[in-house]
Amino acid sequence: MPLDNTEFLTRQKHVLQSMQPNSIAIVPASSLVTRSSDTEYPFRQDSYFHYLCGFPEPDAWLLLTNHQRYSNGMGILFCLDKDPTMEIWHGRRIGPKQAKGDYGVDLTFAVDELEQRLEDIIDGHQHLYFAAGHNRHADEVVSTALQSLRNAPKQSKQAPASSIDLRLILDEMRLIKSAAEIDLMRRAAAISTQAHIRATKFATSAKNEYHLEAEIHHEFAMQGAKYPAYGTIVGAGDNSCILHYTENNQELKDGDLVLIDAGCEWQGYASDITRTFPVSGQFSVAQKQLYQLVLDAQLAAFEVIKPNNTIAQASETAIAVITQGLLELGILQGELADNIERLTYREFYMHGLSHWLGLDVHDVGHYKVDGQDRPLLAGMVLTVEPGIYIAPDADVESKWRGIGIRIEDNLLITSNGFENLTEAAPKTIDAIEALMKKSH
Ligand code: GLY
Ligand code: MN
Ligand code: MN
């Protein structure tokens, strides 16, 4: 089910109450972006705009004001006007009239009227809440309106005395997911889990990385998730060591591992799963040793993931397990504490353990509050994704070289621990080999 209108209106109300009195918030939608002559990239709504009103079209604007002249606060939407010719060429438009009923805003206007009306709407507000730097076109439109207000004191017009970053309010709101958002994220995670299972099953008959990419995207599409939440990564052999590899066009070779990092977007919400498995269906001894180490690091990190603990604690736990394991395998040398202090593991584990997940795959929300690591709270969703990547030219025994492994799950923090939204994607060595054997 899509989000209910009441959820968007509740969020708008929260913003109206969080702003200082006599404030206005201005939130632009995304615009289409040219891909090549006369064609555009698939449209994706701006996450902040989507979060606040769910209106699905480009070139819209949401204004929220709690000026004293509007006692309960007011939502104003500007959107593309109805236009029969444009709609024949480019698709249906909701239009201001229908948007007013459908999206529960108090006032709607055609976006053609924005520049002429914006100045008068802002006039008299004391504070402007706006995400400057987020959308260049919006920056220009808003600064032009402010400039005209500043240039018109003789008409008794008044620009807001202060500009405040709206993200300070919205990022905190987006960090804690509502029950309805969690349902959408569960669905995104479930579709992506099925996609990983499908690709793993096809691996022994696939010939190229793009065959596995196609299996992943097939499952997304068949379940109604039109887009991946980010560029799908299918890296086999040495390519598994390139963290954001997206060429996905090399041959799959028996004996290699293949790393797939892929997640669909479902109604705006991201999932982000990584699984790594052997092209042949069976791990070699060296691959097993490194794979088990990454899995052990992830499971050790899971032990620490609960309310009031921090991502930093989980990260330290994973680093300790990985460093100890690399010492035992002879990939690192010396004492554990000294290696951790000198960050020697970074040659092989060079990224963070976790990031927030939500409307954006790397979702908003600060990782520190007042300089301290932020405690986890129920309703947060984050990834846990340790990895080990031994570069093809690393100064280690040859059997380790060109092995890249990441295991990534999506965790919802609950009142006493977490729920792993992506648990059903197999990840033990036995479960992966069994799944691949069944599909022979
Ligand atoms: N897929 C990007 C990431 O794992 O952060
Ligand atoms: Mn991730
Ligand atoms: Mn990922």
Contact between 12 and 2 (Cβ < 8 Å): no
Residue 2 has pLDDT above 80, yes or no: no
What's the rounded mean pLDDT across residues 413-418? 98
* Ligand 1, pocket-test mutation among 261, 275, 298, 351, most atoms within 8 A of CB: 261
Segment 174-201 mean pLDDT: 98
Which residues on adjacent β-strands are paired with residue 406?
Answer: 387
Ligand 1 touching residue 363 (CB < 6 A): no
Choosing from 35, 137, 150, 244, the catalytic residue is 244
Checking if the pLDDT of 101 tops 90, the result is no
Burial (CB < 10 A; 0-12, 13-18, 19+), residue 254, is exposed
CA of 161 to the centre of ligand 2 (A): 40
The confidence score (pLDDT) of residue 1 equals 62
154/166: higher pLDDT: 166
Each domain of the chain, given as residue ranges in start order, spans 5-173, 176-438
pLDDT score of 440: 62
Check: CB of residue 205 under 8 Å from CB of residue 279: no
Please indicate whether residue 272, judged by its CB atom, sits closer than 6 Å to ligand 1: yes
Q: Does the pLDDT of residue 71 top 90, yes or no?
A: no
pLDDT digits (tens, 9 = 90+) for 346-356: 999 999 999 99
In the reported structure, the alpha carbon of residue 11 is separated from the centroid of ligand 2 by a whole-number distance in angstroms of 27
Residue 154 has what pLDDT?
76
| Residue 51 pLDDT | 98
The active-site residue out of 261, 265, 360, 433 is 261
Residue 403 phi, psi (nearest 5)? -100, 120
Kindly indicate the confidence band of residue 87, based on its pLDDT and cuts at 50, 70 and 90.
Answer: very high
390 pLDDT band, cuts 50/70/90, is very high
Please report which confidence band the pLDDT of residue 362 belongs to, taking 50, 70 and 90 as the band edges.
Answer: very high
Report the candidate in 282, 237, 276, 239 with the shortest Cα–Cα distance to residue 407: 276
Which ligand lies nearest the alpha carbon of 231?
Answer: 1
Residue-wise pLDDT tens digits, 268-320: 999 999 999 999 999 999 999 999 999 999 999 999 999 999 999 999 999 99
Q: How far is the CA of 78 from the centre of ligand 1 (A)?
A: 34
Q: Looking at ligand 1, which atom is closest to the CA of residue 362?
A: 5
Q: Which atom of ligand 1 is nearest to the CA of 351?
A: 5
Per-residue pLDDT band at 22 (split at 50, 70, 90): very high
CA–CA gap between residue 246 and residue 323 (Å, rounded): 28
Query: DSSP letters of 191-226?
Result: HHHHHHHHHHHHTTT--BHHHHHHHHHHHHHHTT--
Question: Is 385's C-beta closer than 6 angstroms to any atom of ligand 1?
Answer: yes
Give the distance (Å) from ligand 1 centre to CA of residue 407.
11
The tokens describing 360, both together, are 């954006």
What is the topology classification, in CATH, of domain 176-438? Creatine Amidinohydrolase (3.90.230)
Residue given tokens 């939204």 in the structure block: 421
What tokens does 179 get?
Answer: 């029950």
Q: Answer whether residue 4 shows pLDDT above 70.
A: yes
The full length of the chain comes to 440
Q: Which helix (H) or strand (E) holds 115?
A: helix 114-122
Residue 261 Cβ < 6 Å to ligand 1: yes
Nearest bound ligand to the CA of residue 382:
2
Name which of 72-76, 144-148, 202-206 the model is least confident about: 72-76
- In the set 247, 362, 366, 423, the catalytic residue is 362
Nearest Cα residue to 157 out of 148, 166, 165: 148
Active site residue 256: no
Q: Which CATH number fits domain 5-173: 3.40.350.10, 3.40.50.300, 3.30.70.100, 1.10.10.60?
A: 3.40.350.10
- CA 112, 117, 118, 123: dihedral to nearest 10 degrees? 180
CB 261 within 8 A of CB 239: no
* CA pair distance 258, 255, nearest whole angstrom: 10
Is residue 130 predicted with pLDDT exceeding 70? yes
Q: By the 8 A CB rule, do 264 and 230 touch?
A: no
What does the alpha-carbon distance between residue 119 and residue 125 come to, in Å, rounded to a whole number?
11
Q: Is the pLDDT of residue 122 over 90?
A: yes
Closest ligand, as measured to the CA of 274:
3
| pLDDT over 90 (residue 142) | yes
Write down the mean pLDDT value for the chain: 97
Q: Is 346 exposed, middle or buried (0-12, 13-18, 19+ CB in 10 A)?
A: exposed
Is 416 a residue whose pLDDT tops 80?
yes
Is 328 one of the catalytic residues? no
Interatomic CA distance for residues 8 and 10, integer angstroms: 5
Determine the residue type at 140: E
Examine the residue annotation and report whether 272 is marked as an active-site residue of this protein.
Answer: yes
**Chain center to CA of 15:** 22
For residue 25, what pLDDT is reported?
98
Nearest CA to ligand 1 atom 4: 272
Mean pLDDT, rounded, for 8-37: 97
Active-site pick, 256, 291, 406, 409: 406
pLDDT tens per residue, range 225-251: 999 999 999 999 999 999 999 999 999
Q: Which residues of 354-381 are buried (b: 16+ CB within 10 A; e: fewer)?
A: bbbbbbbbebbbeeeeeeeebebeebbb
Cross-strand bridge partners of residue 61: 28, 78
Domains 5-173 and 176-438 share a fold: no
Give nearest CA residue, ligand 1 atom 3.
272
Is 27 in a helix, a strand, or coil?
A: strand
Q: Which pLDDT value is given to residue 69?
A: 85
The SS3 of residue 399 is helix
Give 185 Cα–ligand 1 centroid separation in angstroms: 16
Mean pLDDT score, 412-424: 98
**229 alpha carbon, closest ligand:** 1
- Ligand 3: distance of its center to the CA of 241 in Å? 13
